[in-house]
Amino acid sequence: MGNIGTMRQIYDVCVFGGGPAGTALAARLADLGIASIVLDRPPGRKAWRGESLTGVIRQPLSALGLWEEFRGAGHVAGYAQRSAWGGEPWIQDSIYHVHGNRWHVDRARFDADLREAVRRRGIVIRDYRNLEELQREGREWRIGLDKGIEISSRFLVDATGRARAIARRLGLRPRIYDRLIALTALIPRNRNPEFDHTMVVESTAHGWWYAAPVPQGHVLAFFTDADLAPRDLARSMTTVPANSTFTQAQSGRAWLPVGDACAAHDPLCGWGVHRAMTNGILAADAISRHLTMEDTLLLEEYRRHCQDQFERYLTGLGRHYSYERRWASAPFWKRRSNANT
């Protein structure tokens, strides 16, 4: 176990990043008897104040024993989706979804509850400012933080999201597939009761709009490419990256990327948080087997799984964008058409 009373703290696994991927992985490791520490470098400002999750989020939450707690956290159940995409507007009711209704969540509350679940398992979550040293010494990683904090770990996990702090430190660069960004804002709740539990998606010549109810109001976002963003919107809304990227983990090295640090998804798919948590759990199982049995088979299977899963995602994403043909000559849509030919 880690001993925080000494100068050098020793753990089996060091997880960089306290988002859904990192916390799911650390919680699973604790359930498997593997000692880990979560090192988090929180951003100065949270851009995503709300997020829509499909009903399949129940699977990883249930695997970690957190489903009932999530249901009681005050998130907004989503029972319908209104879309204007590729033709006449249409409405889809959640009764037709095999995994049940969507959930429009307070993202800050969601992340905080995951971190608390990790702490309840006795796992240390430490905030840090600077990663000053990261090097492999024999069978361990040596980590230096904030002028004096030293940690040794047998295995590293990069769960730092799109920042990919560890992958970049180790010299890896992601493959970037597009330039999608999101211009986001939290606005007052729409008083029309028809939108109390309804998500809205609408395509335009320059991108697409998304709106959904969350506990604090309504989240509004416009998705377009960085070079196409209207200046007036960019000035009045918060800009965050939303493009598709993939980082290939190297075989034979004692580290893995999980969540957005491995595969970042276009929000159109609605899978980002679910896949981050599910793959975090898979990675924890692989790491546990590697550390306890010196078996790397599951590590290699995890790497192949992530790559195959991302390739299938790209195929499905291209198919969905292809349904919209009204603005085929507009740059935003033409780029996506060319990417899939």
Whether 238 shows a pLDDT value over 90: the answer reads yes
Position 338 in a domain: no
Say how far apart CA 333 and CA 326 lie, in whole Å.
9
Q: How many CB atoms lie within 10 A of CB 2?
A: 19
Say how far apart CA 5 and CA 53 lie, in whole Å.
40
Q: What angle do CA 12, 307, 172 make, to 5 degrees?
A: 65
How confident is residue 341, by pLDDT bands cut at 50, 70 and 90?
low
**Rounded mean pLDDT, 247-255:** 85
Residue 2: what pLDDT? 45
Find where tokens 């988090």 sit: 40
* Domain with 263 in it: 8-333
CATH number for 16: 3.50.50.60
Position 304 in a domain: yes
Residue 283: what pLDDT? 97
Residue 144, CB half-sphere, CA atoms under 13 Å: how many?
Answer: 8
- For residue 188, give the 3-state DSSP assignment: coil
**Rounded mean pLDDT, 269-289:** 96
Find where tokens 């989240």 sit: 219
Whether the Cβ atoms of residue 232 and residue 247 lie closer than 8 Å to each other:
no
DSSP state of 86: S
Closest CA to 140 of 5, 285, 12: 12
**Rounded mean pLDDT, 188-202:** 94
**Rounded mean pLDDT, 172-189:** 95
Say how far apart CA 227 and CA 87 lie, in whole Å.
26
Phi, psi angle pair for 23, to nearest 5°? -70, -40
Position 1 in a domain: no
Whether 230 shows a pLDDT value over 90: the answer reads yes
**Rounded mean pLDDT, 275-293:** 97
How confident is residue 4, by pLDDT bands cut at 50, 70 and 90?
very low
Phi, psi angle pair for 154, to nearest 5°? -80, -25
Say how far apart CA 34 and CA 28 lie, in whole Å.
9
Position 30 in a domain: yes
Position 307 in a domain: yes
Whether 301 shows a pLDDT value over 90: the answer reads yes
Per-residue pLDDT tens for 88-141?
899 999 988 889 999 999 999 999 999 999 999 999 999 999 999 999 999 999
Amino acid at 11: Y
Say how far apart CA 65 and CA 318 lie, in whole Å.
35
**Rounded mean pLDDT, 148-153:** 94
Position 46 in a domain: yes
The token pair that represents 47 in the structure block: 């851009």
Overall pTM > 0.85: yes
Closest CA to 153 of 289, 287, 300, 303: 287
How confident is residue 250, by pLDDT bands cut at 50, 70 and 90?
confident
Mind giving me the DSSP string for 175-186?
Answer: EE---EEEEEEE
Whether the Cβ atoms of residue 305 and residue 296 lie closer than 8 Å to each other:
no
Residue 338: what pLDDT? 72
Helix-strand-coil percent breakdown of the chain, rounded to 5? 35, 30, 30
Residue 5: what pLDDT? 45
Per-residue pLDDT tens for 36-48?
999 999 776 566 6
Of 3-7, 107-111, 245-249, 300-304, the one with minimum mean pLDDT is 3-7
Provide the H-helix boundaries in the chain. 20-31, 58-63, 67-71, 107-120, 165-169, 231-236, 272-293, 297-322, 331-338
Whether 252 shows a pLDDT value over 90: the answer reads no
Distances (CA, A) of 88 to 82, 118, 194, 206, 287: 11, 46, 19, 18, 48
Whether 309 shows a pLDDT value over 80: the answer reads yes
How confident is residue 7, by pLDDT bands cut at 50, 70 and 90?
low
Position 341 in a domain: no
Radius of gyration (Cα) for the chain, nearest Å?
Answer: 21
Residue 44: what pLDDT? 63
Position 24 in a domain: yes
Average pLDDT, the chain: 93
The token pair that represents 256 in the structure block: 């893995």
Percentage of the chain modeled with pLDDT above 90: 86
**Rounded mean pLDDT, 307-315:** 97
Number of folded domains that form the chain: 1
Closest CA to 237 of 211, 267, 200: 211
Per-residue pLDDT tens for 61-76?
999 999 999 999 999 9
